[in-house]
Structure 1
Amino acid sequence: MPIEAFIEQDLPQLRDLQPEEWNPLTPVFEFYLHSDFCFPVKYSERGIIAGVGVTIIHQHTAWLAHIIVHKEYRNKGIGSIITQALIHAAGKPGVQTILLLATALGEPVYQKHGFKKELSYIFVKRDEEIILEDIPAVLLYQANFKNELLKFDYEISGEDRSKLIIPHLNETRIVVDQNTIQGYYIPTLQEGPIIARNEKAAASLIQFKHATGITKAAFPEINIHATQLLTDLGFKEYMKSSRMYLGKPLTWQPAKIYSRIGGNLG
């Protein structure tokens, strides 16, 4: 069978699939291999990995990600074969919605599998690091906020991402008003997601994050406050991607997401 489970011994072959503009694949696939909610696969021909992909399951939702085809094996339908295998892997009991983020080139491929575009993500960057005279004061996460933070994330994302978030809680920064979480930033979780109830909390977290030297961000286009806040800090748009879904439309609040987790998790 061309489609098989991706295993640890396959990691060295990832260097031949590495897209130039993407973050290194090896650490991400190591994470997939050690997470019980991730199911990476490979498509091989004569012992050579021609393509990879992963299904990530969060209770009633699933993400398809890192669908990559080796440049020497493209235009042979391998990406479509991998996508169909990942959709099949997402058919676990309870999964109602399958999600992914697509480039302009990938979007027509996913449409053929029944995916529909929901909205666009904006990618922004600035050429130099930000120098702020006054860095906003945000709180380090405290254990008594655990349940509230996880509930807040579910309320905004529409997904149970607790398995993903809990290992990073001790590094999380929060904004609190009247003993209620108004926003959070998780610096150790991929691109550093920011979710906030209001613009004030978002501004504090965005300034805190980007004062550390981070010069890129991505967020739902519908979040006009994020666009304004980052424009004011000198960020400029350089790319867009499409968030697509298959199955039941998800109830979520994209206007309160000020920075995504990553291309594999929204």
Structure 2
Amino acid sequence: MQFNTVTHNDLEAISRLRPEDWYDIVPIFRFYIDSDFCYPVKTEINNTVVGVGAAILFGRTGWIAHVIVSKEHRNKGIGYRIVCELLEHLKKHHAATGLLIATPLGLPVYLKAGFRELTSCVFLKRERPCNALPVSGNIIPFRAAYRETIMQLDHEASGENREKLLSGHLHHALVYRDHDRIQGYYIPGLGEGPIVADTTTAGLELMKIKYAVADTAVLPSGNRTGIRFLEQHGFAPTDKQGTRMLYGDAIHWKPGNIYSRIGGNFG
């Protein structure tokens, strides 16, 4: 099976592959195309795009995302071949660890490719309105002086070096600062709007800002504090399922420090 790099000319064809319950995938594939740390691929049958996927490199770790096969060509091994192609790209660029979030449909494919299950994601949706919560005076806009600390917080939580992804969005960030120390960050506009914090207070105070307007949330199942906060403020778990999976070397990460993810493609 032949694979080619996705270009802007493929975006219209890719839009037709979107599963019914997914958001518009064109913007994220445009991001993959324009980002030097991403590798979006396609495969075609009779000059028609029938499958796509992307690899994202963060140095020694990488993600596989948006593996999609057209309905007409599922159960033919195309998804598995895409995953193998993306894994080879990660290995070629010396990533010792591959990560992804699997849907129930994709889970068997990833297991076959050698991924193993780590933990689950909890998807929540607002079921009832909640009164506005007071905003902490410790939450302030990002300054350049906070950059290194934010990267350290993110590395501690994710176990990865996601600087290339975060850097272009820091000007939107809010941070929680107490006793002259940055304890957490929230970046609106980056994917789903990640919140990372190394103290419970920082994480929950930043959540108050985000979930004053957001009606959906996804957290690692290991962050029981964040999940409980959402349930106490009008959210309830949904039936949607996602499984965090690992290929290769394990990494040390702290799911309890992640109060909102970036997305299913970046963690």
The aligned residue for residue 154 of structure 1 is: 155
Pair 1:22 & 2:22 matched: yes
The aligned residue for residue 174 of structure 2 is: 173
Does the Cα contact within 8 Å between 1:121 and 1:218 map onto a contact in 2?
Answer: yes
Q: Distance in 2 between matches of 1:133 and 1:90?
A: 43
The aligned residue for residue 197 of structure 2 is: 196
Q: Which amino acid aligns with 2:30?
A: E
The aligned residue for residue 208 of structure 1 is: 209
Q: Where in structure 2 are the equivalents of 1:124-143 lying within 5 Å? A: 124-127=124-127, 130-132=130-132, 134-137=134-137, 138-143=139-144
Q: Which amino acid aligns with 1:36?
A: D
Does the Cα contact within 8 Å between 2:194 and 2:261 map onto a contact in 1?
Answer: yes
Residue 246 of structure 1 aligns to a residue whose secondary structure is: strand
The aligned residue for residue 102 of structure 1 is: 102
Residue 87 of structure 1 aligns to a residue whose secondary structure is: helix
The total of aligned residue pairs comes to 265
The aligned residue for residue 231 of structure 1 is: 231
Q: Distance in 1 between matches of 2:98 and 2:115?
A: 9
Q: Which amino acid aligns with 1:240?
A: Q
Does the Cα contact within 8 Å between 1:129 and 1:214 map onto a contact in 2?
Answer: no
Deviation at 1:134, TM superposition (A): 2.7
Cα distance change on mapping 1:223 and 1:61 into 2, 3 Å: same
Q: Distance in 1 between matches of 2:223 and 2:193?
A: 17
- Most deviating of 33-42 and 89-98: 89-98
Q: Unmatched 5+ residue regions in structure 2? A: none
Pair 1:254 & 2:255 matched: yes
Residue 43 of structure 1 aligns to a residue whose secondary structure is: strand
Pair 1:121 & 2:121 matched: yes
Q: Which amino acid aligns with 2:23?
A: N
TM-score by length of 1: 0.96
Q: Which amino acid aligns with 2:195?
A: I
Residue 65 of structure 2 aligns to a residue whose secondary structure is: strand
Q: Which amino acid aligns with 2:170?
A: L
Deviation at 1:2, TM superposition (A): 2.9
Cα distance change on mapping 1:230 and 1:27 into 2, 3 Å: same
The aligned residue for residue 244 of structure 2 is: 243
Cα distance change on mapping 1:215 and 1:46 into 2, 3 Å: same
TM-score by length of 2: 0.96
Deviation at 1:128, TM superposition (A): 5.5
